[in-house]
Amino acid sequence: MDTVLIIGAGAAGSVTVQKCAMNRDVFKTIHLASRRIESCEKAAALCKGEVHCHQVDADDVAATVALLKKVKPDLVINMALPYQDLPIMDACLEAGVHYMDTANYEPREEAKFTYKWQWPYHDKYKEKGIMAILGCGFDPGQSNIYCAYAQEFLFDEISHIDIVDCNAGDHGQGFATNFNPEINLREVTQRGKYWKEGEWIEIDPLSISCMVDYPEVGQRKSYLIYHEEEESLVENIKGLKQIRFWMTFGDEYIKHLDVLTGIGMTRIDPVEHKGMKIIPMEFLKDLLPPPSSLGENYTGKTSIGCIFRGKKDGKEKIAFIWNVSDHAEAWKEVKAQAVSYTTGVPPVVGAMMLFRGEWPVQGGVFNVEQLPSKPFMDEIGKQGLPWEMKEISREDQAELFAVET
């Protein structure tokens, strides 16, 4: 296997194709496709060596199948929108091509991301003898693999996981989102949710917060939200009693979000405007700066990781695994900000795992924590996302551990 097709040439997709092009020993032939051929050509111009560009509407299964049969990739890396996961999975199934994505399916008409639509593809993919690898971004993705690594190598039993995600960068804009505005705002405005003692507990959006101490960043106010990796981790981390996801939002972001939500600009249902039906969220997306435009003057760092509580040799153990990425360094390397970088690099490493046989090819649908964690952990730092791990005490994250949920 040495041929990859990347679908989606946005901010994160541009990172993915550039990093593939930096590893020509693995990716000998690289194809890039998008609805707009200009986006592909712009990303390809940043790459080392040849990248073949194609125009395709990923919502059109027949058109995607035709492209797959034409270029004959060994793997499709889906860097398009979550709405397009199922059409691309259908196309891969018909063409007999392995599939990988970074975010699970979400229907356009409902802000509800869940694996319930993708997991049922398992038997069909198994019968076809091809593999679908789900959620190979950072979170989900690298965070899941941190969990798998902790389960296999650091703990006898993991009871609690807190996934903590901080962007301490400054892009200089009054209000902007670091990835697709529509997806970002749908994620933040939906009801929060966490898992405890075998059940899902829902909360009002952004109603629970606390201070979390992030490596190389320090204390930041963090909000409890729902994130998709929780859904698969509760299935694959044995003995788990609680899992929560925390993300930082600045005061200005929250203020803008409150106003936009209050006046209906984050609605995803159609409204009548001058005789036409428009979706306010889609209109708002067109008004906001595209994430790819934020990178050049972005300063600061992202700090993302997993805090584990459990037991080793009969004693309580608390461990923290994390990555810190610098916006300015990401711009220097691939002309992107660090949020796009942390999303775009992991699928390259996942594809390497598949092509090298370190993730054995098997038929079916798999989340990344179901695959060998160590080879991924060994490679990801070499590709730009080094990780660190240390044991901590309850006092090190006193406010986080004090939150009763």
List, for residues 282-323, the tens digit of each pLDDT value.
888 888 777 667 767 789 999 999 999 999 999 999 999 999
Q: Are residues 397 and 253 in the same domain?
A: yes
Structure tokens at 216: 């190389």
Residues 168, 304: one domain? Answer: yes
Find tokens 């199922």 and name the residue: 86
DSSP letter, residue 2: -
Same domain for 29 and 121?
yes
State how far the alpha carbon of 105 is from the alpha carbons of 15, 81, 215, 339, in Å: 21, 9, 31, 20
Q: Are residues 376 and 271 in the same domain?
A: no
Q: Note whether 236 and 321 are same-domain residues.
A: yes
Kindly state whether residue 285 falls inside one of the protein's structural domains.
Answer: yes
Domain membership flag for residue 333: no
Is 334 among the domain residues?
no
Per-position b or e across 152-162, b if 16+ CB within 10 A of its CB: eebbebbbbbb
Q: How far apart are CA 113 and CA 93, in angstroms?
A: 22
pLDDT at residue 176, as a whole number: 66
Residue 54 located in a structural domain: yes
* Cβ neighbours of 98 (radius 10 Å): 22
Token pair listed for 13: 């997709």
Residue 335 lies in a domain: no
Specify whether the CB–CB gap between 143 and 229 falls below 8 A.
yes
Concatenated DSSP letters of 133-157: EE--BTTTBHHHHHHHHIIIII-SE
Question: What value, to the nearest 5°, has the Cα angle with vertex 135 and ends 133 and 140?
Answer: 150
Is residue 366 within 8 A of residue 37, CB to CB? The reply is no
229 shares its domain with 129: no
149 and 73 within one domain: no
pTM value is: 0.91
Domain harbouring 82, CATH code: 3.40.50.720
Residue 215 in any domain: the answer is yes
For every one of its 405 residues, what pLDDT tens digit does the chain have, with 9 covering 90 and above? 999 999 999 999 999 999 999 999 999 999 999 999 999 999 999 999 999 999 999 999 999 999 999 999 999 999 998 989 999 999 999 999 999 999 998 877 666 778 999 999 999 999 999 999 999 999 999 999 999 999 999 999 999 999 999 999 887 676 766 656 666 777 777 789 999 999 999 999 889 999 999 999 999 999 999 999 999 999 999 999 999 999 998 777 777 777 788 878 888 788 888 888 888 888 888 887 776 677 677 899 999 999 999 999 999 999 999 999 999 999 999 999 999 999 999 999 999 999 999 999 999 999 999 999 999 999 999 999 999 999 999 999 999 999 988
Same domain, 263 and 278: yes
Same domain, 278 and 352: no
> Rounded distance, CA 373 to CA 359, Å?
9
Same domain flag for 299 and 362: no
**CATH, residue 275:** 3.30.360.10
DSSP letters for 145-197:
HHHHHIIIII-SEEEEEEEEEEE--B---SS--SS-HHHHHHHHHSPEEEEET
Tell me whether residue 58 is in a domain: yes
Dihedrals φ, ψ of 179, to 5°?
A: -140, -175
Domain count, the chain: 2
Classify residue 281: in a domain, yes or no. Answer: yes
Domain that holds residue 114: 3-138+340-380
Whether the CB-CB separation of 308 and 160 falls below 8 Å is answered with yes
Do 250 and 344 sit in the same domain of this protein?
A: no
Shared domain for 155 and 273, answered yes or no, is yes
Q: Compute how many other C-beta atoms are within 10 angstroms of the C-beta atom of residue 144.
A: 31
